[in-house]
Amino acid sequence: MKKNRIPFFGNQREYIQYREELLAIVDQVMSTGQMLQSQYVDEFEDRIARFVGREYAVSVNSCTDALFFALRALGIGEGDEVLVTNFSFVASASAIVRTGARPVFVDIDPYTLNMDLQKAAEKVSRTTRALVWVHLYGLMGNVSEILDFARRYGLLVVEDAAQALGAEFQGVRAGGVGDVSCISFDPTKVVSAPGSGGVVLTDEERIASKVRSFRYHGKGVQGTFDELGYNSQMSSIAAAVLAQKLIWQQDWLERRRAIAAYYMAQLADLPLQLPAEIPGSLHIYHKFVLRSSRRDELRQFLQDQGVETKIHYALPLTEQPVFNSYIDPGAMTAYPVSYDAARTVLSLPIHPYLQEAEVHFVADTIKAFFEKVE
């Protein structure tokens, strides 16, 4: 059987299905000559703001920049501490470091793999100013608990919803929680730009105005360049494509959830920990992540049978060298759940372009592995 016969990502298949529509959008934008700062960017920002229930949306070149700009717009900087999960993509914490603040890593809940707020409470100090909350793998945290925690300790909330577009908790959509929210449109995400892209979402005009300035060299409303800024603009092509994909995303979400339901049913009796579903939360399954003490063997077996998988994430953030100067001695014993997750997580293909036979084959192959080893 051909290696990687079942691809982990569906970008190529997505393009084949929507080729004519996408090329028409690109042609329309190119015909105007407006590559940046165009009506297409304005229309996308309006659409994403309405989708998540925010007053303002400011598009930028990446969610990494979105997180950095969000923290900076909130006034986070040198001398401040910011709580962040120990189990996420590096950008969740590197954005904190870019401001000059100190990331304070928090262990995760063993069921949801999101930040454990009880552990977070132990990390709050007199210099703690903010919390970066990550909705890992597309599962939103309990919104009321997050906001109650922030109020109790007087913290600002930056919602890292990079992996959670379309997710909900008790009617609140990801992107609509806290002081500022950030979403990614990286090619690996459920709604992807042709390239990279991110957005900052907020209900405060002051914050939106600051981020608009940051994304274009520090330009102010009077047209002068008032502070040191950056060049982090979303292209008109990316914005126009994303605006259309927001219309299609509901169908994609339903398909991913259908695949997830099949995996859950077929794998329920195996010695695996399956993804969490919490009451009131709509999981979008940006990733379908199971956990197994035999993860590496299982991954190799799937690869040999032509099924591509990924590991999200192979290391906790406290093991990433970039953060060495922020880690206390004995980090491994301080974050046992994060370290265990890093040793056991495995992401299965779940994009909406998987054929039924492919979904069945993935589940059957996993069952065959456990029949073989037990």
pLDDT in tens, the chain (374 residues): 445 599 999 999 999 999 999 999 999 999 999 999 999 999 999 999 999 999 999 999 999 999 999 999 999 999 999 999 999 999 999 999 999 999 999 999 999 999 999 999 999 999 999 999 999 999 999 999 999 999 999 999 999 999 999 999 999 999 999 999 999 999 999 999 999 999 999 999 999 999 999 999 999 988 999 999 999 999 999 999 999 999 999 999 999 999 999 999 999 999 999 999 999 999 999 999 999 999 999 999 999 999 999 999 999 999 999 999 998 777 778 899 999 999 999 999 999 999 999 999 999 999 999 998 87
CA distance 311 to 275: 14
Distance set, CA 176 to CA 120, 143, 271 (Å): 22, 10, 37
Q: Can you name the residues that pair with 319 across neighbouring β-strands?
A: none
CA distance 95 to 227: 19
CA distance 69 to 228: 12
Query: Would you state the CATH architecture of domain 248-373?
Result: Alpha-Beta Complex (3.90)
Burial class of residue 185 in the structure, from the number of CB atoms within 10 Å of its CB (0-12 exposed, 13-18 middle, 19+ buried):
buried
Which is nearest to 286 in space by CA: 154, 368, 166, 205? Answer: 166
Q: Which CATH number describes the domain made up of 11-106+113-244? A: 3.40.640.10
Q: What's the distance, Cα to Cα, between the start and end of the chain in Å?
A: 24
Question: Residue 307 phi/psi, 5° resolution?
Answer: -105, 120
Which is nearest to 7 in space by CA: 358, 312, 365? Answer: 358
CA angle 47, 196, 341 (to 5 degrees): 100
Are 327 and 315 in contact by the 8 Å Cβ rule? The answer is: no
Are 87 and 114 in contact by the 8 Å Cβ rule? The answer is: no
Q: Can you tell me whether residue 290 is helix, strand or coil?
A: strand
Q: What is the SS3 assignment for 124-155?
A: CCCCEEEEEEECHHHCCCCHHHHHHHHHHHCC
Query: What pLDDT is stored for residue 296 in this prediction?
Result: 98
Q: Can you name the residues that pair with 157 across neighbouring β-strands?
A: 131
CA distance 188 to 357: 23
Q: Residues of CATH 3.90.1150.10 domain(s) within the chain?
A: 248-373
CA distance 176 to 174: 5
Q: Residues of CATH 3.40.640.10 domain(s) within the chain?
A: 11-106+113-244
Tokens found for residue 361:
């084959």
Query: What pLDDT is stored for residue 4 in this prediction?
Result: 56
Query: What pLDDT is stored for residue 328 in this prediction?
Result: 76
